[in-house]
Amino acid sequence: MCMIRSRAQQLNISLIDKQDKECTVKIKALADTRLRLIDDASRTVVPGPATSILGLARSVAFAWICALPHEMTAASSALDITHDKLPQSTTDHNTYLLGEVCGHKVVVTCLPAGVYGTTAAASAVSQLRSAFPAIRFGLLVGVGGGVPTRENDIRLGDIVVSIPTQTLSGVIPYDIGKATAGGGFERLGALNRPPDVTLTAVAQLRAAYLAGNGHISRIISDILCKTPYLRRTHSRPGPEKDQLFDATYEHSSFDDSTCARCDRGRLVARTPRPSDDPQVHYGLIASGNLVIKDGCTRDRLARSLGNICFEMEAAGVVNIIPTLVIRGICDYSDSHKNNTWQAYAALAAVAYAKELLSCR
Ligand SMILES: [Zn+2]
């Protein structure tokens, strides 16, 4: 059949051909933008499958959320695969790292530098939700202040995991509420439970630990072995640096970040542990915008709330993305708190998160 094309049709076909060629060029460029797998042992880049990064980003269901840069550094060291950097909106000030850990696609997110507290965390996680609309679960992995009691022998470098009770979701906002008659305080603000899929994995891991089959120490050793620069910053401080003072005894000098001038006679006597293996504690985590830096306040709040850890982001996160909170204990929420244990505690929390993600 003889086809007679009008001038308009010819122009249209010509335009389509041009668009096809441009499209072909774009597809080729995309194919050339291969994902790179970073081998943990050598940190060298090796070629990976030609997959669209944007397509990968759209399919990521797990968010790994950090608040501090050294928490993100530790998190990035736990990734088995790291993908190319994502294009990002200029109005989004979060830091993102797309990767895979134990077969799970994850986006590691760090809040903007210098941003603290539940309100800032909520804003940052809302940005994360917009950038990665398929996100369904979160792990909030970082450091927190412990509440050591006779019942919970929490030490620095241990890990606390948020677990719901019959009436509470696992995270308690300690600074949202209203004053009541007689000087009382009624706490408000219902928060979401951790997602069931993470609680199932926690139960599985908890059973493994009860049977003596935990691997946190090995995971920490593996990460430090494969990542030499972390050995300088994230290694475990010596046991002499873990000092718990009587709650009523205040730090001796606020000019000195160490407790070198504090009265060792006011230390709480504790039985040395047989090993440096971090122990995992499960319970309620209190979250708010106020820094708890006083032993008596810590104990008073904990008696009221029943929590075993304080931190400053979870209450802003869990109602936006259902999240399990994992905190490495870096201080005792008292006036003696300093940064000595922060990096190691962050790494311990990362090791627990990685072990959790290895549960099937
Ligand atoms: Zn001190």
Whole-model pTM over 0.75: yes
Q: Quick check: helix, strand or coil at residue 179?
A: strand
Tell me, in angstroms, the distance from the centre of ligand 1 to residue 239's CA. 16
Neighbours of 238 (CB within 10 A): 9
Query: Tens of pLDDT along 166-220?
Result: 888 999 998 876 666 666 666 666 789 999 999 999 999 999 999 999 999 999 9
8 A C-beta contact, residue 71 and residue 141: yes
Q: Which amino acid is at 126?
A: S
pLDDT beyond 60 at 107: yes
Tell me, in angstroms, the distance from the centre of ligand 1 to residue 262's CA. 5
pLDDT score, position 161: 98
Higher pLDDT, 253 or 30: 253
pLDDT score, position 180: 67
User: In the structure, how many helices (H) and strands (E) does the chain have?
Assistant: 10, 14
Q: Which residues contact 202 (CB under 8 A, 6 or more apart)?
A: 161, 163, 194, 282, 324, 356
pLDDT beyond 70 at 81: yes
Q: Which of 47-51, 109-113, 255-259, 276-280 has the highest mean pLDDT?
A: 276-280
Share of the chain above pLDDT 70, in %: 81
Tell me, in angstroms, the distance from the centre of ligand 1 to residue 155's CA. 16
Tell me, in angstroms, the distance from the centre of ligand 1 to residue 148's CA. 16
pLDDT beyond 70 at 60: yes
Q: What is the mean pLDDT of residues 45-58?
A: 58
pLDDT beyond 50 at 337: yes
Tell me, in angstroms, the distance from the centre of ligand 1 to residue 278's CA. 23
Q: How far is CA 177 from CA 118, 186, 190, 192, 306, in A?
A: 15, 5, 11, 17, 17
* DSSP 8-class letter at 267: B
Q: What is the rounded distance in angstroms from the CA atom of residue 201 to the CA atom of residue 62?
A: 14
Higher pLDDT, 30 or 47: 47
Q: Quick check: helix, strand or coil at residue 314?
A: helix
CB hemisphere CA count around 124 (13 angstroms): 30
pLDDT score, position 188: 64
Tell me, in angstroms, the distance from the centre of ligand 1 to residue 335's CA. 7
Q: How confident is the model at residue 111 (pLDDT cuts 50, 70, 90)?
A: confident
Tell me, in angstroms, the distance from the centre of ligand 1 to residue 326's CA. 26
How do strand 137-146 and strand 184-187 relate by DSSP bridges? unpaired
pLDDT beyond 60 at 27: no
Higher pLDDT, 345 or 6: 345
Q: How confident is the model at residue 112 (pLDDT cuts 50, 70, 90)?
A: confident
pLDDT score, position 56: 76
Tell me, in angstroms, the distance from the centre of ligand 1 to residue 258's CA. 6
Query: Tens of pLDDT along 284-301?
Result: 999 999 899 999 999 999
pLDDT beyond 70 at 162: yes
pLDDT beyond 80 at 282: yes
Least confident span in 52-61, 295-304, 343-352: 52-61
> Over the range 135-150, which residues count as b (16 or more CB within 10 Å of their CB) and which as e?
bebbbbbbbbbbbbee
pLDDT score, position 37: 29
Q: What is the rounded distance in angstroms from the CA atom of residue 225 to the CA atom of residue 43?
A: 12
The distance of Cα 281 from the centroid of its chain, to the nearest Å, equals 17
Tell me, in angstroms, the distance from the centre of ligand 1 to residue 330's CA. 14
Beta partners for residue 66, in sequence order: 110
Q: Which residues contact 67 (CB under 8 A, 6 or more apart)?
A: 110, 111, 115, 116, 121, 142, 312, 313
